Amino acid sequence: MVRRAVSSQGRRKKPVARVKRKSGSTALTSFENIRKVALGLPGVVDSTSYGTTALKVGGKVLARLHQSLECVVLRTELLDREILMQSAPDAFFITDHYRDYPWILLRFGVVEYSALPDLIERAWRLVASKTLIKKRDERLSS
C-alpha cells in the first residue's frame, strides 16, 4: 500500500525542493540535521545500515548516511524522486545502484535545512505503520 501526503483538497502535494540560494539560509550540513528532525517523529530510532548511521521505524530504514559520507540516502517514492531531481539536480541525485529502488541521495551543503521536515516526514510515512501514522495525524489535527 502506498501512503501519500495529501493537501486539504485531496490532491497529492508535490515535494518541496528548496536549494540553498541566499547567503543567510542554512543548509543541510550533516546527518545530525536529519537525525534532529526525524527523531521528532513517532517510532524513529537510531540504528545502522550498511555500516553507516541510520534512522529506522519498525526496523525499516527511512534515512542513512551514504558510505561516501558526502550525502544522505533518503526513502522516497519514485515519482517524488523524479520531481526532486528535475527541480534541483545539484541537490538531489541517484547512482546506478539506486535506479530501480525508491531512494534518493541528498547532497550536504546544498539542500536547505527548512526543506528537511517535509522530506523526512514523507520518508517516514513510507515506512511507518498505519498505527503510527494515524496517531501522528490525530495529534496534528487536534
Q: Is the pTM of this model over 0.85?
A: no
Write down the residue that cell numbers 537510531 correspond to.
Answer: 46
**Would you kindly state where each structural domain of the chain is located, as residue ranges?**
31-129
- Please state whether 43 falls in left (phi above 0), alpha (psi between -120 and 50) or beta: left
pLDDT computed for residue 139 by the predictor:
87
Strand 60-65 with 52-57, pairing = antiparallel
Residue 14: strand, helix, or coil: coil
Residue 3: strand, helix, or coil: coil
By CB atoms closer than 10 A (0-12, 13-18, 19+), residue 125 is buried
- pLDDT tier, 13 (very low <50, low <70, confident <90, very high otherwise): low
Fill in the amino acid letter for 40.
G
Q: Which CATH number fits domain 31-129: 3.40.50.11540, 3.40.50.1000, 3.90.1150.30, 1.10.3720.10?
A: 3.90.1150.30
